[in-house]
A = this chain, B = another copy of it.
Amino acid sequence: MKNNEPKDMLGRVKLTPVQEAKSTLLQALSTIRPSSHSCSLAESAGRILAQDILSPEDLPPNSRSTMDGFAIRAEDSFGATNSMPAYLEIDGKVKMGVMPQGNVGKSKCFHIATGGIIPDGSDAVMMFEHTIPIDERMIEVVKSVGSGANVIQCGEDIQKGSPALSRGHLLRPQDLGLLAGIGIAEVEVFVKPRVGILSTGDEIVHWEDSPPSGKIRDINGIMLTAACKKLGAEVTDYGIVTDNEDLFLTTVRRAAAGNDVVLFSGGSSVGMRDLGEKVIEKLGNPGIIVHGVALKPGKPVLIGLCHKTAVFGLPGHPVSAMVCFEIFVHSTIKHFAGLRLPEPEFQPTVRAKLDRNLNSAAGRLDLIRVQLQKQKNGLPTATPVQGRSGAISTLARAQGYFFISETSQGLNKNTEVEVHLLT
């Protein structure tokens, strides 16, 4: 052999660094705008807003008490202490859910509970705990409060006309709460991304079938389907195709026509990989945009864009396929779901200490699967899960993964690593 330069499986030397491949992909995707539709608020959780929402009203619509106590004129409490209390006459009671009747006069107060509307004349709430009852009509106030104390003002949560949520925002439970509070019952959201999935290879049978001698069950199909559904995608199964070029091209073309994203996997052999490249190029422009990456596992991934469909040729080895899914397909599906890219901006991790020395080749990104173990003191330990990228059990045993960067030749035992959980 001539040298040790990184090579793809055809002996080509050009492997794209992962960050560059991802930028190329996101750049290409940025020209495709996902479409949107109207959705009832109750069904919108987990979807991405396709509109900016301004609040149509003040929340709360009235100034309300945040404590149980007495609605007072704050100035009536000024200077009050335990030794020099102020005396207030109980002149009424705020009923929940209706506008208060009457007016709080000087040196008077109204009973009020949390959530009660502040009656006219009053501007603060004195907590029960800072009062001493004298009799049924009179209290001692032993603390001074300022105007607005224990009151949430009309519009303090959100004001009429001000921005509530903006386009590109993921609708979480609390966002539904806010929108419900301001009376929004329908929202415009981006349509669910559609993903078509097929597995390739003459040696593969459907996982529910009993494989005849020499064949094996498809692992990638069910795994990638579950991964896509977890991201909110609608998945169409295009089954298993053999390496007949015409059948393969016809099936991928049909999948590309009906979906935002197409995933085919299994093309790890040179023949299948050649076929995958050919098929992506035939589907439409711009065709292949990334052609193998400096990543282990996951090197032989093909990334293409054909008209408005992203097409991924994932490695056949299940671990490699899943790694490429995490790094490239995940963001692509999120893009078609309407999330603002680059995404995710912030990736939460668990800090852990590597429990052994680990070698790595410079020039490629290594993804290391790990098990985590809590320790009595200090950070948990991260134990690499050994095994080939063809061994799916290694990924089932792993709780997470971390990266060793392209510039590193390895990590020493006890190095702190940031572990992404596989959940």
Contact = CB atoms under 8 A, between A and B. Distances in A.
A159 to B, nearest CB: 10
Q: How many copies does the complex hold?
A: 2
B396 A164 contact: yes
A222 B177 contact: yes
Contacts of A392: 59, 157, 174, 177-178, 181
Given A129-B1, A173-B223, A391-B156, A113 B271 contact: yes
Nearest to A11: B129
Nearest to A181: B219
Interface string A81-98: 010000000000001111
Interface in A203-222: 203-204, 207-208, 210-211, 213-222
A226 B176 contact: yes
Given A60-B216, A157-B390, A202-B96, A318 B174 contact: yes
Interface stretch (A256-264, A283-291, A342-350): A342-350
Given A1-B129, A152-B388, A42 B222 contact: yes
Contacts of A393: 59, 157-158, 164, 178
Which of A61, A173, A208, A399 is packed against the most chain B CB atoms within 10 Å?
Answer: A173
Contacts of A143: 1
B7 A203 contact: no
A52 to B, nearest CB: 14
Interface stretch (A187-195, A359-367, A404-412, A415-423): A415-423
Contacts of A423: 170, 172
Given A129-B1, A217-B183, A350-B347, A269 B230 contact: no
A216 B181 contact: yes
Contacts of A138: none
A268 interface: yes
Contact of A97 (B152, B170, B202, B395): B202
Which of the four size classes fits the interface of chain A? Answer: 35 or more
Contacts of A221: 180
A165 interface: yes
A151 to B, nearest CB: 10
Given A115-B203, A390-B66, A421 B269 contact: no
Given A115-B203, A227-B173, A390 B178 contact: no
A185 B271 CA distance: 31
A368 interface: no
Contact of A152 (B222, B348, B390): B390
B348 A214 contact: no
A9 interface: yes
A405 B119 CA distance: 38
A345 B316 contact: no
Contact of A349 (B174, B211, B219, B348): B348
13 contacts: A1-B129, A9-B68, A46-B230, A61-B211, A98-B214, A114-B269, A152-B391, A157-B394, A158-B393, A165-B396, A173-B224, A174-B396, A180-B217
Given A115-B269, A185-B208, 7 more contacts: A60-B390, A61-B216, A66-B390, A97-B203, A115-B316, A346-B350, A348-B349
